Amino acid sequence: MSKKVISLVLAVVMAVSVFSICAFAADPTAVWTLEVTNTDGTPISGSIPTGTEIKVTVKLQSDFYIGTVGLPVFYSDAFSYVANSAVLTEIYGAGATRTGTSVDSIDAPSGYGVFYAVYVPNSSVAGVASPMYSTATTILTFNLVADTEAVAEVKLDAAAQKTASNIGGKFYCGSRASADVTTDEAITGQVFTVPAAVEVTIANAAADPVLTGVNTGVVDSANGYVYGVPAGQNVADFFTVENGTFTVSGNGTGETLTVYTTGGAEFATYTVVIFGDLNGDGTVTGADTSVLKLALMGAGLSGAQAVAADVNGSGTPAAPEVTGADSSVIKLALIGAGYSVANPYA
């Protein structure tokens, strides 16, 4: 019985010893995380238009003390690097980390650019120590801008890892036995957990909205007016827009027509001019002649109201000429069938 007990104890001791040796001999593990987001850190939803800037974030988690790090991030050549956008974490402490970066200075897979970052502990600084990241920690961010339409990738390429069989590899993370940066460093043999490439769909940027007049409608972009709408009519019926939408605040002089992109962003705003409508109610009545008389006796008119008063077209939208002759035109029209001239400048 005692022999059996001794045998069982020895077996347990040997099993524990084998496990301890395996655990001690296990390769250090570095887990890399790659994120591609909008520049404010929010997720990218759907495709992005050309010209859009995005942020690339690389995080690192390790079960060992980190030594020198070499980190190439490859990106489809549908992107280009945004100059001076990189932020490298001082992984060995403020003032204790020497860093270097380069763009496209090392070999990259065909159709890709590369951003390369290097981190080296500055052992001459007092108190510098190698960190061990038990949770994923950001060590690098930089921005890319979408140049051309494509399904574009951003990736960490495990094939670039520096190992005993690929000693020229540029992707590595040195490991140390302790936090002491003067201890020997191993840069081969780590087990890297590398995430899959992140895909971003780049679409052509939507064309700018184009506002045009329908029938007698006129878009005066130089002066910021829309006119050519007879009094008493719906302004929106005299204009149309491609690659966007528009709204009209009202049908009288001084109201606004606002153009929006297909994405809903405000693109341009125009002031509505209805010739003969000086009080902004969209119709031409004796009230408008009264406004004109008072203006001629006083300080005059300006802006859209002055353009609306130049009913005989003697001036221009940029420099309307308002005189008593305009008042006479409106009066005579009101005596007859009413005022309905859409565009005296025509």
What are 264-318's pLDDT values in tens digits?
889 999 999 999 999 999 999 989 989 999 999 987 899 999 999 999 999 999 9
- Beta bridge pairs of residue 100: 118
Amino acid at 161: Q
**DSSP structure class, residue 74:** E
pLDDT in tens, 155-183: 998 888 888 888 888 999 999 989 998 88
SS3 14: helix
Average pLDDT score over the chain: 88
Q: What are phi and psi of 261, to 5 degrees?
A: -75, 170
Domain ranges within the chain, ordered by starting residue: 28-203, 210-335
Is 11 a residue whose pLDDT tops 50?
Answer: no
Biggest alpha carbon–alpha carbon distance for the chain? 131
pLDDT at 17 over 80: no
How many angstroms separate the first and last alpha carbons of the chain?
119
CA separation for the pair 184, 321 (Å, rounded): 87
Give the pLDDT score at 267. 92
Residue-level pLDDT at 2: 52
Lowest mean pLDDT among 15-29, 44-58, 90-104: 15-29
The model carries a pTM of 0.56
Tokens found for residue 323: 């005189």
Confidence label for 189 from pLDDT (cuts 50, 70 and 90): low
Any alpha helices (H) in the chain, and if so which ranges? Answer: 2-25, 286-297, 303-309, 324-335
Fold classification of 28-203 is Immunoglobulin-like (2.60.40)
pLDDT at 9 over 60: no
Determine whether 332 is exposed, middle or buried from the number of CB atoms within 10 Å of its CB (0-12, 13-18, 19+): exposed
At 103-143, the pLDDT tens digits run 999 888 899 999 999 999 998 888 899 999 999 999 999 99
Average pLDDT estimate for 76-81? 96
Beta bridge partners of 211: 241
For 15-24, what is the mean pLDDT?
38
